[in-house]
């Protein structure tokens, strides 16, 4: 799942994840619907923006990491932010973010985060050999 109020940023994160071979990506424009989606679905990982109107990433993390939240709240969370500073990163980790990525991030940075968080790790897809590609 990708949660970001900025449509371009949300699309860019989803495109990056697709480059890594992920095909089922729910894209949500705000944190409130993400709460319901996490309750209703099992996600392997959530990428969420730190700054969002109405309910920011910190508030969303507080909700889903609350002990009273259903089991879906244990999903690994990658917090993404365009405004990194020590306080933001420390607060994200304190609230239960598994990783913090700074926008814009590369495909290899996203792959590294996935590799650290998913049980079987993650590898960048191999580049097809130019000789094997048929046009």
Residues whose CB falls within 8 Å of the CB of residue 33, separated by 6 or more in sequence, listed in order: none
Query: 72 pLDDT band (50/70/90 cuts)?
Result: confident
Q: What is the CATH number of the domain that holds 109?
A: 3.40.50.2300
Residue 18 in domain? yes
- Asked if the structure places residue 81 within a domain, the reply is yes
Least Cα distance to 78 among 13, 32, 12, 20 occurs for 13
Query: Which of 132, 115, 133 lies closest to 124 in space, CA to CA?
Result: 115
In a domain, 52, yes or no: yes
Q: Provide the phi-psi class of 122: left if phi over 0, else alpha when psi is between -120 and 50, else beta.
A: beta
- HSE-CB of 117 using CA atoms within 13 angstroms: 22
Residue 96 belongs to a domain = yes
Q: How far is Cα 14 from Cα 26, in angstroms, rounded to an integer?
A: 9
In a domain, 19, yes or no: yes
Decide if 125 is inside a domain. Answer: no
Task: Print the domain residue range for 100.
Answer: 2-117
In a domain? residue 135: no
For the chain, percent of residues with pLDDT exceeding 90:
72
The pTM of the full predicted model, rounded to 2 decimals, is 0.86
What would the pLDDT profile of 100-125 be if each residue is shown by its tens digit? 999 999 999 999 999 888 767 666 55
Tell whether the model's pLDDT for residue 129 goes beyond 70: no
User: What's the number of domains the chain is made of?
Assistant: 1
């Amino acid at each position: 799942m990708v949660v970001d109020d900025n449509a371009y940023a949300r699309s860019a994160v989803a495109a990056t994840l697709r480059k890594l071979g992920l095909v089922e990506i729910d894209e949500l424009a705000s944190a409130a619907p993400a709460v319901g989606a996490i309750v209703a679905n099992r996600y392997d990982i959530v990428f969420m923006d730190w700054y969002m109107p109405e309910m920011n990433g910190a508030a969303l993390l507080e909700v889903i990491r609350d002990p009273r939240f259903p089991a879906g709240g244990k999903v690994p969370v990658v917090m993404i932010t365009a405004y990194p500073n020590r306080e933001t990163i420390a607060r994200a980790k304190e609230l239960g973010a598994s990783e913090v990525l700074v926008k814009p991030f590369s495909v290899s940075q996203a792959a590294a985060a996935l590799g650290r968080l998913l049980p079987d790790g993650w590898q960048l897809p191999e580049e097809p050999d130019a000789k094997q590609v048929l046009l």
